[in-house]
Amino acid sequence: MPITSVDKDLDALTMTVIADFAASRQRLWEAYTDPRQIEKFWGPVGWPATFTRHDVFPGGRSNYVMTGPDGESSGGFWEFLAVDPGHSFEVRDGFADDSGNENTEMPSMRMTFQFEDTDGGSRLVTTTHFGSLDQLEQLIGMGMEEGMTSAMGQIDDVLADLESFAAGRSAEAQILSDTQVRVSRVIRGTPEQIWRAHHDPDLMKRWLLGPDGWTMPVCEIAQNVGDTYRNEWEDENGENRFGFTGELLEAEAPFREVTTESMIGMEGESNINELTLIPVDGGTLLTVVITYPNAEVRDMVLGTGMVDGMETSYARLEDEVFV
């Protein structure tokens, strides 16, 4: 059990949990900032979490749902108030309803996560700041301390699993729900470089090509929220053209972008793509959460080899652009 102390200060209205780990501070930091990893332990034993959003930058947000052994669920969110990469972050932590919106009938609290080096590895100091003594007693009475203790007891296994999250692995897809898929990959380069590679038409035409043998004759970028974009591809013979278009819904350079996506010439509801770029050791963790109209469309798109095509493009980005 990594937890070494739990201190509740009724005067300061805080609860401080200290935990020590054999892993490095950077490794511990990445376990908390990579959605693939944090969802393996953020939740008591038997209540695994699914993170549909995890934007670790000031102004970013996390959305997650913990699912119990009998199918019951409990949603939550973080609003990131401050981030010092590799060292600390501060969030407003709260409860969410079934739609992912804040449950205002329940209290929210401020939490700070401080990552420190130690002689044996690293230390995490988590301090929860409550709004009142009643709030503190309410949340402690609901089992907050036991939940944190149970969740943190699972971190060691995640920290030891270096291979699953090593830089350089191929793009991988994880099904989050009937309508959502998350594609993740660590890419060599900074968030700023990768953001530019997604917004400079000349660069995009060099790497965003999928399998060999295709070109990108049309690349129109959406510059501002509300603008539309259009990308088209064709084979080396100038045939079999296809493309996608959509609208830019949100943009927080160089960390997050949300767009709609529709195949040109096809009717039906658009997909929603949420791109997030987070710096990690060895590069940048790129995640794309794709929301489809239904499970049938999700499975049809995955069956086209979409993820393999994305991996080919990301590998080309590293090999031909980031040289």
Tens digits of per-residue pLDDT, 99-120? 889 999 999 999 999 999 999 9
Which structure tokens are listed for 49?
Answer: 């979490």
Return the higher-pLDDT residue of 169 and 180.
Answer: 180
How many other C-beta atoms can be found within 10 angstroms of the C-beta atom of residue 15? 23
What value does the mean pLDDT take over residues 300-315?
Answer: 94
Least confident of 26-30, 69-73, 157-161, 259-263: 157-161
Domain ranges of the chain: 3-160, 172-321
The Cα–Cα gap between 22 and 20 comes to 7
Identify the burial level of 146 via C-beta atoms within 10 angstroms of its C-beta, where 0-12 means exposed, 13-18 middle and 19 or more buried.
Answer: exposed
The Cα–Cα gap between 312 and 208 comes to 9
156 pLDDT tier (thresholds 50, 70, 90): confident
pLDDT of 160 reads: 81
Contact 213, 234 (CB under 8 A): no
What value does the mean pLDDT take over residues 57-77?
Answer: 94
241 pLDDT tier (thresholds 50, 70, 90): very high
What SS3 class is residue 315? helix
- 3-160 and 172-321 agree in CATH topology: yes
Write down the mean pLDDT value for the chain: 92
The CATH code that applies to domain 3-160 is 3.30.530.20
**pLDDT at position 121 over 90:** yes
Which structure tokens are listed for 316?
Answer: 């080309």
What value does the mean pLDDT take over residues 134-151?
Answer: 87
pLDDT of 213 reads: 94
Residue in 165, 200, 176, 185 with CA at minimum distance from that of residue 272 = 176
Which structure tokens are listed for 78?
Answer: 């973080």
pTM of the prediction?
0.89
State percent of the chain over pLDDT 70: 97
Secondary-structure class of domain 172-321 per CATH: alpha beta
pLDDT of 139 reads: 87
Tens digits of per-residue pLDDT, 170-180? 899 999 999 99
Residue in 144, 146, 70, 73 with CA at minimum distance from that of residue 103 = 73
Q: How far apart are the first and last CA of the chain?
A: 44
State percent of the chain over pLDDT 90: 80
What value does the mean pLDDT take over residues 285-289?
Answer: 96
**pLDDT at position 322 over 80:** no
